[in-house]
Structure 1
Amino acid sequence: MTSRTERLDGLPFTRKHRKLLLGSGIGWALDAMDVGLISFVMAALAVHWALTPTELSWIGSIGFVGMAIGAALGGLLADKIGRRQVFAATLLVYGLATGAAALSTGILMLIVLRFIVGLGLGAELPVASTLVSEFAPRRIRGRVVVILEGFWAVGWIMAALIGYFVVPTGDDGWRWALAVGLVPAAYALVIRFGLPESVRFLESRGRVDEAERIVREFEASAGVEPPAEAAPGSRAESAATTAGTTAATTSGTAPSRAAAFEEATRESIWSPRLRRRTGALWIVWFGINFSYYGAFIWLPSLLVSQGFDLVRSFGYTLIITLAQLPGYAVAAWLIEVWGRRVTLAVFLSGSAVAAGLFGLADTPATIIAAGMALSFFNLGAWGALYAIGPELYPTTTRGSGTGAAAAFGRIASIIAPLLVPVMLGAGGTAMVFGVFAAAFVVAALAAFTLPERKGVALEET
């Protein structure tokens, strides 16, 4: 018989998929909005609090320390207690912490709260992409995940709009901007009660009735008749059933037996079969984080340092940010045409060229043109990266595998904002973006070594 995961893979894209994508995407956009806002807050605080470049770099970096820890813990928890539960919890954590950061009385309080914000932000991203990838039909799975990542551009544009219209309004404009960050806390309820749990996760934990119900809901949405009998599920479910799990469901022992089986069959991301792809994925994550966050967290402040006032620098940043949307759109189309690996490598290579050009730009026109090219290629690369990550691992380690790669990448996002003032002093903007270009090149080379997963079922790893 056809398994539940095969039944999901064979469905067309339905309103249930659209609801899941939109619900997860809004959470993703709110995440991006929070990350983007800090770049505008930094530029404002440099003026209002007279902060040094070192102090600003710590405000920019401390959130990524939390994101590194959150990404690793979030992935592990997603494999333990479920994708949806962790997704909702992360929104609640970073939403409340961002709202509290608006009340900061000094730099120390702001840094502590930004660390807590980072914990939630870091945990959310790999968990959301894993949840969506496990429901998306196989033939368009990569495209669906890139569209999910495209919500990042929506969130960053929201941050740019808030930065342009709210932050410059007065000494407390940055506080009102951060107060908007309370929205994700309320949206956590939508995630918790409005989105389904991963069928693959439910099967791995022995919760077969829930898994079957969700699959049938998606089939009903597509107008597809379910099979007369419940289909056999995943490898974990079949083994658990053989051991007598199904018979023991009413006594409450099924989940524990399924959990024991899952623990016994979990494959390490550093096993001989997976370690090459894990290593390459970690290099890509490191390179793209280093260059993206080093550039975009500092972008408004760099423009201010070049003589532009807050309003003008924020306006340039808004224009540059708009180029993220077509970058995602093109990547979403190409990823099912060229495949994941080539699309990722090409967009990383384009990012390297754009970063080099930005470092040489010295007029408003060239700054905007090179910045838009960097936005286009860099965010397209992000979309491809989030699409390929969950496809590299089996169900029992998918959350932890993608989370560990994201956590390693966050190390680069911690280092980069701290290094920007040092590199500026040593060689100016040209040196800063030359280093970022080199990091993109290394990431592109690593991307070419990843296995191609286009059209392959998630379990076929």
Structure 2
Amino acid sequence: MTDISLPAGGAAAPAGTSSATTASDVMIAARLDRLPMTGYQKMIFAIIATAWFFDSIDLGSLTFLLGSIKTEFNLSTAQAGFLSSMSFLGMFLGAAISGMAADRIGRKLVFQISMIFWGAGSLWCYFAPDPTTLGYARLLLGFGMGMEFPVALAIVSEFVPTAKRGRYLAILEGFWPIGFIAAGLLSWLFLTHFTWREMFLCQAIPALFLFVVRFLVPESPRWLADRGRLDEAEKVMSHIERKVAERLPAGASLGEPKPVAALARGQRRFSFMELWAGEYASRTVMIWLVWFFALLGFYGLTTWLGALLQAQGFTNTKSTEYVVLIALAGIPGFITAAWLVDAWGRKGTCALMLIGSAVAAFAYGNAPSFTMLIVFGLVMQFFLFGMWSTLYAYTPELYPTRARATGAGCASAVGRIGSLIGPSVIGVVLPTLGSAGVFALGAGSFVIAAIAVLTLGVETKGKSLEEISG
């Protein structure tokens, strides 16, 4: 096994951390980053992306089912908005807890636990006899979904080499529009032949996918090394190298690791308050603002798309068809973002997608005809899902390994506050300001998020995780 040492002039080990340990941490990172992208890493990515896809179906389904639930339980607009917000309250709690848990006990275990929660929540939704019980079920479902997102980001960012990290993180988020479209198609099928309850029952089954994660996805060697569990990190790293080598063309080798300097690594114990210390303070302010306002705008608008169309006289199934139609533009949106984050950069792409979302949302709310409504809806979804892809690629890169899931989880949790507020605010504002006012509110939220990125954001394109944050 090839070993490396720190280059001349590399940073000294911090107090309380031996030089050997620091060198070993750096060695694991260098060995991971020098690996070519083969079918083995793509398999790991596909497993995480599939779980993300199932999660996205759960989250997106309420957009299509809310109208039917509202009718069955005879809910007011404000009550329906509150019900939809329960998922986001659960996501806030799940994201806040899972990030810190994943940095303490491991990415793989927390990821599996998250799948148990959202599977149980979906099953409970099926049996819910009244809106109160359904609200608690959505809370549990949201808790599991909130747990999964920051951990999935940490896993993918730590396994994929630097040169392709942004692209694969953006593609991972691309499974959200695909899941959203699948949720629309499944909702159309179930609302046509069954009820919204059977839809939730169907969504509980994919939780069994956790057994695939358990047996095929290894723990992050970056995380193991950073926790000082070097023997385990070496064992997992050797396994990964062996699997990658098996997939190389005959005669090809893995190549030599390129030394990575150990920058200001600090102590291993990363407290929540360190998110507000030194270089991380401005990053935290920036990413929290972006998550809060981006999710406030996105979920405030998206959760109500189907209900807004129904309010204009369209049937449940017809409004579902239109929402699915405009969501199709999210696919080229995330593909474009996945290319731009590596070709142009995270900061510029994020700002572009946010500003594009703002302009399109305002135009959608003031569309003069049904044809223009669909056109502006397509443009809006293109930028919205591009925004999501960029945001998920950008966030985990801002923090070090010892706190990557914590930083991403806290940012996601703050975003969930925005997503919690958004649908409820729209439910109250809609009767007063109408659709135009609702979409103007969403557009303003995206503009604020774009300003935060442009003024406080840092560029991470082409840099190793260790180079970005020691």
TM-score using structure 1 length: 0.90
Write the distance in 2 (CA, Å) between the matches of 1:19 and 1:196: 11
Write the distance in 2 (CA, Å) between the matches of 1:427 and 1:155: 31
2:77–2:428 contact (8 Å) kept in structure 1: no
Instruction: State the match for 2:286 in structure 1.
Output: 280
1:355–1:436 contact (8 Å) kept in structure 2: yes
Q: CA deviation at 1:88?
A: 0.9
Write the distance in 2 (CA, Å) between the matches of 1:265 and 1:168: 51
Question: Where do residues 13-32 of structure 1 align in structure 2 (5 Å cutoff)?
Answer: 13-32=37-56
Question: Where do residues 17-416 of structure 1 align in structure 2 (5 Å cutoff)?
Answer: 17-170=41-194, 173-220=195-242, 221-222=244-245, 223=248, 262-263=268-269, 268-416=274-422
Identity score, percent: 37
| Local SS of the residue matching 2:225 | helix
Q: Structure 1's 233 and 90: CA in aligned 2 closer, same or farther, altered over 3 A?
A: farther
The residue type paired with residue 132 of structure 2 is L
2:28–2:225 contact (8 Å) kept in structure 1: no
| Local SS of the residue matching 1:451 | coil
Write the distance in 1 (CA, Å) between the matches of 2:171 and 2:306: 27
Confirm whether residue 456 of structure 1 aligns to residue 444 of structure 2.
no
Instruction: State the match for 2:439 in structure 1.
Output: 433
1:203–1:233 contact (8 Å) kept in structure 2: no
Instruction: State the match for 2:24 in structure 1.
Output: none
Q: Structure 1's 233 and 95: CA in aligned 2 closer, same or farther, altered over 3 A?
A: farther
1:4–1:232 contact (8 Å) kept in structure 2: no
Show CA shifts across 1:306-325 (max 9, x none).
Answer: 11111110100110111111
1:303–1:313 contact (8 Å) kept in structure 2: yes
Instruction: State the match for 1:246 in structure 2.
Output: none
Q: CA deviation at 1:214?
A: 2.7
Q: Structure 1's 347 and 264: CA in aligned 2 closer, same or farther, altered over 3 A?
A: closer
| Local SS of the residue matching 1:453 | coil
Q: Structure 1's 10 and 44: CA in aligned 2 closer, same or farther, altered over 3 A?
A: same
Write the distance in 2 (CA, Å) between the matches of 1:45 and 1:404: 31
1:91–1:120 contact (8 Å) kept in structure 2: yes
Write the distance in 2 (CA, Å) between the matches of 1:169 and 1:47: 17
| Local SS of the residue matching 1:78 | helix
Q: Structure 1's 26 and 264: CA in aligned 2 closer, same or farther, altered over 3 A?
A: closer
Write the distance in 2 (CA, Å) between the matches of 1:265 and 1:356: 41
Confirm whether residue 418 of structure 1 aligns to residue 442 of structure 2.
no
Write the distance in 1 (CA, Å) between the matches of 2:270 and 2:430: 51
- How many pairs were matched up? 436
Confirm whether residue 443 of structure 1 aligns to residue 467 of structure 2.
no
1:94–1:118 contact (8 Å) kept in structure 2: yes
Q: CA deviation at 1:266?
A: 8.6
| Local SS of the residue matching 1:308 | coil
Q: Runs of 5+ in structure 2 lacking a partner?
A: 6-26
Instruction: State the match for 2:18 in structure 1.
Output: none
| Local SS of the residue matching 1:262 | coil
Q: CA deviation at 1:267?
A: 7.4
TM-score using structure 2 length: 0.88
Q: Structure 1's 16 and 339: CA in aligned 2 closer, same or farther, altered over 3 A?
A: same
Q: CA deviation at 1:58?
A: 1.3
The residue type paired with residue 203 of structure 2 is G
1:268–1:397 contact (8 Å) kept in structure 2: no
| Local SS of the residue matching 2:274 | coil
Q: CA deviation at 1:38?
A: 1.3
2:30–2:260 contact (8 Å) kept in structure 1: no
Q: CA deviation at 1:96?
A: 1.4
1:96–1:181 contact (8 Å) kept in structure 2: no
1:78–1:86 contact (8 Å) kept in structure 2: yes
Q: Runs of 5+ in structure 1 lacking a partner?
A: 240-260
Instruction: State the match for 2:35 in structure 1.
Output: 11
**Stretches (4+) displaced over 3 A:** 222-228, 230-236, 264-267
The residue type paired with residue 80 of structure 2 is L
The residue type paired with residue 49 of structure 2 is G
Q: CA deviation at 1:48?
A: 2.4
Q: CA deviation at 1:168?
A: 3.5
Instruction: State the match for 1:245 in structure 2.
Output: none
| Local SS of the residue matching 2:268 | helix
